Amino acid sequence: MQTAVLVLLLGGFLSGLHGEGDQSTPDLLSMVTKLQSQVQSLENSQAQLQSGSPVAFYAAFFTDTEEGNHGPFDIATTIKYKQVFTNVGNGYNAATGAFTAPVKGLYVFHFTMFGSFDPAPDAVAVLKKNGVKLAYAFDRSFSDTNDSSTRVVVVTLEAGDSVYVELQAKSYFYDYHGDHNSFSGFLLSRV
């Protein structure tokens, strides 16, 4: 705000000079007008971020061509939830499967993993923040063949922190019509 006041005062000063016949003043006045516009734009962006603009996403794994088991893989693999239903604030990236926090705040994340085994390895997925485990979703393959595991996590993130779901090595999950494997999150409050 102080910058905007300074720019306005400078603009008024230069406008006064312009009336006295200084030839370089129109160029300076044009620069000040442009600077005023840029400062206003920055202040509007900052106000929007601070005013509580919402941040939320909801995505599911399933697409029509991907019914069935996914995995097991030799290494832990980030699950890319490609069917994006909501992405307010554009924090979720379907190409990478990761959510990147646009602002510092308290966030809520939810993920569900579904297993349908005939016999197969256990299903283990992990919610991670910058590579560090936050929560596991786990299902052991026993006699029951259709199970799901859901986790909800509340965590403080800095702007730029990354959160994603990782399928653990030698594990897999099942998906079909109904979006049984999903990942979502939202900004609860700024801190």
pLDDT of 13 higher than 50? no
Give bridge partners of residue 86 from the DSSP assignment.
58
Q: What's this model's pTM, rounded to 2 decimal places?
A: 0.69
pLDDT of 58 higher than 80? yes
Residues 6+ apart with CB under 8 A from 172: 69, 70, 71, 72, 73, 115, 120, 121, 123
Confidence of residue 137 (pLDDT cuts 50, 70, 90): confident
Higher pLDDT, 178 or 159: 159
Are 115 and 123 in contact, with CB atoms under 8 Å apart? yes
pLDDT of 160 higher than 50? yes
- Count Cα atoms within 13 angstroms, Cβ side, for 29: 13
pLDDT of 171 higher than 90? no
* Per-residue model confidence as pLDDT tens digits over 98-110: 999 999 999 999 9
Residues 6+ apart with CB under 8 A from 161: 100, 101, 129, 130
- Greatest extent of the chain over all pairs of C-alpha atoms, in Å: 92
